[in-house]
Amino acid sequence: MGVTKKATAPEPSIGVDVEQPLTKNTNQIIANITKQNNLQATKSPVNSGQSGLETISMDELYDAVYPPKIPIVDGLIYNGTYLFVGAPKVGKSFFMAQLGYHVSKGLPLWNFPVQKGTVLYLALEDDYARLQKRLSRMFGMDSTDNFYFATKSKNLNEGLEEELNQFVKEHKDARLIIIDTLQKVREIGGDKFSYANDYDIVTKLKKFSDEHGICLLVVHHTRKMESSDSFDMISGTNGLLGASDGAFIMQKEKRTENKAILEVAGRDQQDQRLELNFNRELCVWELIKAETELWKEPADPMLDSIVKVVTEEQPQWKGTASELLLLLPELDIAPNILTRKLNISVENLLLEYGIRYESSREHDGRMITLTLQQKSEE
């Protein structure tokens, strides 16, 4: 057991002159975690019998450590593939530019903390002159060098994945790719209006986003048919929503008014309903209120105890579960149970407490490493 006074390399954080988030430690940029956070743990499933199925037991599942899923915009959008749906001319492209700008600068979006990273915006229904005018109206001359645009791309069956792979290879800190619109990258040929085709399209995009640990936000249109459930208004079949990680639906009662409702549903975030107002002078969306208050998981006494082990003076601790329990006599649990609880809590430890947890098998047994993530100063 010992302490190593070596902190991980910091990354830029949100500037001090902007509104700070309300959550505990989620506004800091987490060093070395923003890539590959959807990859599987090192313990791979094993084949079961002669079936050929890759399976994993419940014991093995609890003993594995899976990389945490880092939010792009905390409480709003995470890594994965999402649909952003609205009627034509409702203001989707302005919102895409606003979101991309905030992520590329690391600035909070309203009161939501943002993780900074490179952004690619495939504005496939625009040209560069229109983009130039739109962005200058929204942000003035305050530009950024990691917000990229393209007005042309290949289709899904003509090489789009290779184009995106190359971009991510050249920009290791890529966090968000916006495809505006889905129709522009649909595969040529086949049944465009079947559940299977819609599901397959989003599945291919999701496979890419999961492999690279980034967010793919795909702009799409609503259909004209009204429905009591906003998500039933997504144009196409339920296959689009079924294969995606979530969806945003932007709606106005009248196209000419400034107010809109943004409804959010997804696998990794709570359902939300946000009331927005479009500032026509600045051409940006402003948050009026969130009708759904985000539920926050209550504090875990075990994690509250563990955070005492690492401090700014001693930012890293390494040892066995038994050695860790000697430092925390208030925890009356077995070492193997502590390890399993930590395995499951890896995301909470990082996002809520700013501590990276790692578990590795060494010659002395299973070793735990706790590292306090450092905030950078701008």
CA angle, corner 115, sides to 97 and 64, nearest 5?
Answer: 130
Output the pLDDT for position 13: 32
CATH 3.40.50.300 domain extents, the chain? 76-290
Which of 253 and 377 is assigned the larger pLDDT? Answer: 253
- For residue 170, pLDDT beyond 90: yes
> Residue 275: what residue type?
E
Write out pLDDT tens, residues 76-100: 999 999 999 988 889 999 999 999 9
- For residue 251, pLDDT beyond 60: yes
Output the pLDDT for position 18: 35
SS3 state of residue 251: strand
Six-digit token pair at 110? 């309203």
- For residue 134, pLDDT beyond 80: yes
Which of 370 and 364 is assigned the larger pLDDT? Answer: 370
* pLDDT band at residue 277 using 50, 70 and 90 as cut-offs: very high
Q: Following DSSP, what letter does each residue of 283-350 receive, concatenated?
A: TEEEEEEESSPPP-PPP-HHHHHHGGG--SSS-EEEE-HHHHHHH-TT--S-HHHHHHHHHHTHHHHH
Segment 191-216 shows an average pLDDT of 85
* pLDDT band at residue 157 using 50, 70 and 90 as cut-offs: confident
Q: Return the C-alpha torsion angle 224, 230, 233, 234, nearest 10.
A: 130
Between CA 372 and CA 353 the distance in angstroms is: 8
Max mean pLDDT range (65-79, 146-160, 190-204): 146-160
* pLDDT band at residue 243 using 50, 70 and 90 as cut-offs: confident
Closest by Cα among 231, 226, 201, 244 to 82 = 244
Between CA 160 and CA 218 the distance in angstroms is: 14
Six-digit token pair at 18? 């902007």
Between CA 185 and CA 183 the distance in angstroms is: 6
Between CA 107 and CA 121 the distance in angstroms is: 17
Output the pLDDT for position 32: 42
Query: Residue 17 to residues 111, 138, 279, 378: CA-CA distances in angstroms?
Result: 14, 19, 22, 10
Query: Residue 99 to residues 31, 73, 150: CA-CA distances in angstroms?
Result: 22, 9, 16
Write out pLDDT tens, residues 3-45: 443 333 333 333 333 333 333 444 443 444 444 443 344 445 5
Output the pLDDT for position 230: 52
Inter-residue long-range contacts of 329-338, CB under 8 Å, 24+ positions, other chains counted:
330/305, 331/302, 331/305, 333/302, 338/302
Which CATH class for the 2-34+300-372 domain?
mainly alpha
- For residue 1, pLDDT beyond 80: no
Please state which architecture CATH assigns to domain 76-290: 3-Layer(aba) Sandwich (3.40)
- For residue 68, pLDDT beyond 70: yes
- For residue 355, pLDDT beyond 50: yes
The H-or-E segment that residue 118 falls in is strand 118-123
Segment 280-291 shows an average pLDDT of 93
pTM: 0.77
Average pLDDT of the chain?
A: 81
Between CA 27 and CA 373 the distance in angstroms is: 12
Which of 68 and 359 is assigned the larger pLDDT? Answer: 359
CA angle, corner 349, sides to 39 and 31, nearest 5?
Answer: 60
Max mean pLDDT range (7-11, 64-68, 118-122): 118-122
Output the pLDDT for position 196: 76
Which of 108 and 6 is assigned the larger pLDDT? Answer: 108
CATH 1.10.10 domain extents, the chain? 2-34+300-372
Output the pLDDT for position 26: 41
* pLDDT band at residue 293 using 50, 70 and 90 as cut-offs: low
Residue 238 near residue 250 (C-beta atoms within 8 A): no
Between CA 197 and CA 203 the distance in angstroms is: 10
List 366's β-bridge partners, or say none: 361
* pLDDT band at residue 221 using 50, 70 and 90 as cut-offs: confident
